[in-house]
Amino acid sequence: MIYLITLGVNKSDSFITIEKQIYTDEKFD
């Protein structure tokens, strides 16, 4: 559990960037 939380915090920036990219692709699709 702690490992998953730590991984989420460490990868939060990359994850948010990926989400924004996907959202943009869907919006312009």
Amino acid 29: pLDDT: 53
Element (H, E) at 11: none
**What is the identity of the amino acid at 8?**
G
Chain-centroid distance of CA 4 in Å reads 14
Amino acid 8: pLDDT: 57
| 2-29 residues labelled b (16+ CB within 10 A) or e (exposed) | eeeeeeeeeeeeeeeeeeeeeeeeeeee
Tens of pLDDT along the chain (29 residues)? 455 555 555 555 656 666 666 666 666 65
**To 5 degrees, how large is the angle CA 6–CA 3–CA 7?**
40
Amino acid 10: pLDDT: 57
Domain range annotation of the chain: 1-29
- Distance between CA 15 and CA 20 in Å, rounded? 9
